[in-house]
Each structure stands twice: as C-alpha cells, then as structure tokens.
Amino acid sequence: MTEAKKPAATVNAGAGIRPLVAGNWKMNGLQAALGEAIAVRDAILASPPKADVMLCPPATLTMVLAEIAKGGLLQLGGQDCHSNASGAHTGDVSAEMLRDAGATAVIVGHSERRTDHGECDRDIRAKASAAHRAGLVAIVCVGETAGERAAGLTLQVVARQLAGAVPDEATAASTVVAYEPVWAIGTGLTPTLADVAEVHGAIRKALAARFGGEGERMRILYGGSVKPQNARELMAVPNVDGALVGGASLKASDFLGIIAAYGG
C-alpha cells in the first residue's frame, strides 16, 4: 500500500501580523554580489509574497542597494548602528546615517555583536532606542548559547535579554524581535519545532505582558540555519512571524526558496 502523502505545513503568522523575511549578509558581499539582490528584487516584484522582504547588506553596499531597491518591494536594513547620532566614533555608523542611505530598519544585538564586541543588553537597548530616534525599525536579537540550553536556562536567558534590550518605547510598528539560538547559527542545526514553539510562545507572552496590544502584534522572527528545506515547517509554528536568515540569504535561489513559504 502506498503511504499517504503528508500534507504541507500551513504558514501560521499571528492574526493580522504581516510576516517579515530578512536576510543578514553579515561581513559578506562585494559589488559583484549585487546581482543576487537584483534577482530577489525582480522575483518578488513579479510574484509578490504575502510577507515583507528585506536585505541587510554590509554598510559598504547600503546606498547602492537602496538604489536597486527603489520603487520595488525589497526593503533595506542595516546590520548594526551606534547609539549616538554623530561624534568621534571612528568606524561606526549611526542610525541616522543608515536612514539617510535609504535603510528602513537595523539589526541590533546579534549574538555575533555580543561575542565579537562584548555588547550587553544595555548597549543593545541604547542602539534600539537610537534606531527609533532615527525612524528605523529595530530588529532586536535574543537567543541562548549551547551551554545555556544544556543547563535548561533558555527561557530565563531570553526573558532577561527581552527585558534588558527592548526599549520601553517599543511598538509593533517600530520593533521586531528575532529569536536566534546561538548554537544554531551557521551550524546546520535547528531546535525542534516544539522547542521553537515554546520559546516563541514565551516571547509573545512576555511582550504582551509588558506592551499590551502592541506586544501582541509585534513580529517575532526565527533565525538559525533557516533554509528552503525547513522554512515552511518553521514558519508554520505559532508565533513565528517570519525569519532572520543568514547564509541562505546570500544566494537569490536559496533566499527565494525561503520566501516561498509565503507565496502569493
């Protein structure tokens, strides 16, 4: 007897919440890579997905990608910002500079910033507030390490990061939370769907308790080895309102495969 085919998962963003699929290029991408962004731009314009789509390139490509994205559906974000609007901070980029270059959002608190630059929740809160000051959406990252998960501390760590890193003025329009278990980033490993549901449910509960209706409508993204092969089932988990994608966003075919979870 032929085994019955398992039905495809149904994408399950929260009621009234428009999902977001954001690609973080990290420290990758020269101008030669912009063809990938153009392919994404053209594909989503030809067949609009039921989700917002964003690319966050390195700062060197921000302005040129803004020109590429102009007039289309592709949104542009930055990867980090300084908490000050200007000043003697060699090598840093302010939220105002990103906005001036054409960005509409910025990632703050990515685990790689925490690890490489020693950023703490207080630093991340200041950067998120700077994003709000400049009129950018702050994508605030939270997530536990392998050791913290093994010790059963995942929910405590995420709760602490939410309380410390998300500013009091956050709204559903100005703030996105991205849950990225540190041990899953770039490793090919992902939590079980039940684990993702547990953490995203806890994040939703915490946001709703603190921000009321705004917290109920705030987008919560999942990140950590998201790829075309697992995107649909991950995006179908309750309270998963999209994805923050790393390596798979560097190739248009892979990124579009993830966006296809929200096909038109």
Indicate which residues carry an active-site annotation. 110, 180
Pick the closest to residue 176 from 214, 150, 209 (CA basis).
Answer: 214
User: What's the CA gap between 54 and 230, in Å, rounded?
Assistant: 19
Residue spans of alpha helices (H) in 1-150 = 34-46, 62-69, 95-101, 111-117, 121-133, 146-150
